[in-house]
Amino acid sequence: MPDVLVQAVVSGVLIGGLYAVMSVGISLSWGALKIINLAHFSFILLGAYVTYQLTASLGWDPLLTLAVVIPGGFLAGVAMQVFFEWTKVDEFQSLIISFGIFIIFQSVTRSIWTADFRTIPTDRNPYATASWFVGDIAIQLAPFIAFVAALGIAVGTTYLLTRTYFGKSVRAIAHDPEIARAFGVDHRRVAILLSGLAMAFSAMAGTFIATFQSLSPAVSFAWFGIVFPVVILGGLGNSVGALGAGVLVGVAAGIATALWGPLAAPLVTFLILIAALLFRPEGLFASRSAV
Amino acid sequence: MTARRRSLVGFALVFLVLLLVPIFAERVDAPGFYLTFMFTAFFWIGQATSWNMLTGYTGYFSFGQGAWFGIGVYTIGILAAKEGWPFLLALPVGGILAAVAGTLLGVVVFRLRRLGGEIFALTTLAIAFVFASLARLFPFIDGGRGIFMTGTPLPEFLGDFRRAMYWLTLVVAAVTVLTAYLIHESRLGWGMFAIRDDEQVAEGLGVPAFRTKMLALVANAFFSGMMGGVWALQIGFITVEDVFNIRVPLFVILMSVLGGMTHWLGPAVGAIIIFTLTDRLNSAGLEDVNLVIIGTLLIVLVLAVREGVYLRLAERWRITVPIFVGAMILFGLTPIGSSVIWDFTFASFVTLLVSLIPTRAEPARIDDDGAERQAA
């Protein structure tokens, strides 16, 4: 295999970790709570801009901003679930309502940070340029951090869902909310906590994006095409599956970029989505789905 | 049968009157922006109504309107502006290409019965971005350079640009609405509604679900592509970013949700209201808050007016029609509205408020033909 392709595969695996972090929140809330929350894209974007702002103007270390971004995302998820519980929306209404929220945030971010591309200044961002070399193959630090975080999320979420009482309640609700309620599971509390957790993951993804990519409000549209194949391939509510699917999509997009240029990547991810829908609509890792 | 005849006669009358508006406007020397305002409204009526043929009738929620619209725009850009085809020959090609793309999507996503409506919705969300990257990738479509539309020859008999746009959008919108009406009243339409209510039951009762959904999707794509083709003339310079963005799907969703997705005329009414609102906000220099208001409206409407305002207005026509006419006259005579468009905006707003406030008192009962309940 030529070096270019090896490099594409290595980078694809690493960036697949980022895709997994971006997707796991949406996957959890869709799989367990039956809410398709497009506002996750808003909070990925917002998390990224908060990281950008704190590093660019206050000089924080980009990873230190997680101390603000994660609690912020958690609170946003909690608030959103409180709203959804209060209005008693179904799956479709949640899709349209969160689309409305997405549009509002899109407009708000544009009015705060303008439509221009923003990048954390290189002197404030030690992660963007650092990389290790194995032979001629570069391993960039920033996506590597995201990949490690994705591993941690996959393991931690699986542990949480399979080994704890909270996780059992989540799975009970995902399986049958009525019966779960009859057995004394507090649907409201569990749903609110899970939504907060899911949104915290998404906001975290924003921080990772800010460490090595340029930001503009419009890039969030391009994420749709990456996140949905990952969510569907990974299986709804399956964090380990999301990591596997993220790596698959990352590698495929990386190879496509190496062979035909960056414009081909969205096409390849869409083809993967179509193939996933045709052959494995329940996800590649369905048998091991935690939720 | 009489109800159908009444609808068709009313439809024909409205169409004829609208057809004559530009000639009348020239006689009274009305400012040109009235025609621009109206043909933009026709554009949205056509887009929203075509979207509703799929989503309102069958219940399959589509974010893909931008893709069909974009195919129409780019077909005209390539065939009429670059290759020099006669516009009226290129126009149906755009509609047909959009329909072909719709067919391809439908073959994939409707084939599998396991796929729910959510998956369909998310796939349509992705498809506009796929077309966008195709357009960027291939130089014969766009290649990232954009297409200049200036100098696209229009048919002589349509007169100057504004009148040509007016008549073209009017005819496409009218055919779209008429088709939506005919489907609504036909066996095909009943099949669509049955699928919306419960697809498995519908299939059990003998509705050919796959074929019905395909027809709805193809009709949506075709009419959206046709209207997109007409709209291409209005865009001076076509770029991927301006064509394949979220604006068209967002607005058609909002318009149809507001107007009411179960009735054939709902999206048209919603389109007029939303377009007037955004046009006024833009002219008042509030473009930045525009999307915030639109997003908020969408959330509130989904939660509050699930059956759409058209049925409300029609149900209470004894109140709403006089109020609208009265308000138009009032605002027309007083200097509150500085132009007819402002008068219209205020009058619609007042009428909407009046029609909506009493609904809070009674629980909303939803059925397909709300107007019939008046008698009961």
Q: What is the pLDDT of residues A151-187, one digit of tens each?
A: 999 999 999 998 999 988 988 888 888 888 888 888 8
CA distance A48 to A46: 5
pLDDT-derived band at B360, boundaries 50, 70, 90:
very low
B339 contact A CB<8A = no
Contact between A209 and A154 under an 8 Å Cβ cutoff? The reply is no
A79 contact B CB<8A = no
**Phi and psi at residue A185, in whole multiples of 5°?**
-85, 125
Contact between B308 and B264 under an 8 Å Cβ cutoff? The reply is no
Q: Specify the pLDDT at position B1.
A: 56
Inform me whether the pLDDT recorded for A71 exceeds 90: yes
Inform me whether the pLDDT recorded for B92 exceeds 90: yes
B104 contact A CB<8A = no
Q: Quick check: B108 and A278 CB within 8 A?
A: yes
* Alpha-carbon torsion angle A169, A172, A176, A178, nearest 10: -40
> Contacts of residue B117 in chain A, CB cutoff 8 Å?
92
Inform me whether the pLDDT recorded for B363 exceeds 70: no
Inform me whether the pLDDT recorded for B155 exceeds 80: no
Higher pLDDT, A129 or A12: A12
Nearest CA to A199 out of A59, A49, A79, A83 is that of A79
CA distance A270 to A152: 27
Structure tokens of B42? 């026709």
pLDDT digits 0-9 by tens, A237-246: 888 999 999 9
Inform me whether the pLDDT recorded for B161 exceeds 80: yes
A-B Cβ pairs (cutoff 8 Å, strict) = 110
Query: Looking at this protein, which amino acid is placed at residue B86?
Result: P
> Contacts of residue A282 in chain B, CB cutoff 8 Å?
114
**Chain B closest CA to A226's CA: distance in Å?**
9
Of the candidates B61, B245, B246, the beta carbon closest to that of A95 is on B61
Q: Specify the pLDDT at position B343.
A: 82
A91 contact B CB<8A = yes
pLDDT digits 0-9 by tens, B20-44: 888 888 888 778 788 899 999 999 9
Among the ranges given (A15-29, A111-125, B53-67, B106-120), the one the predictor scored with the smallest mean pLDDT: B106-120
Inform me whether the pLDDT recorded for A146 exceeds 50: yes
pLDDT digits 0-9 by tens, B226-258: 999 999 988 888 888 888 888 898 889 889 988
Question: Which of A29, A42, A92, A103 should we substitute to test contact with B (largest number of B Cβ atoms within 10 Å)?
Answer: A103
**Chain B closest CA to A275's CA: distance in Å?**
9
Q: Specify the pLDDT at position B291.
A: 82
B299 contact A CB<8A = yes
Q: Quick check: A107 and B250 CB within 8 A?
A: no
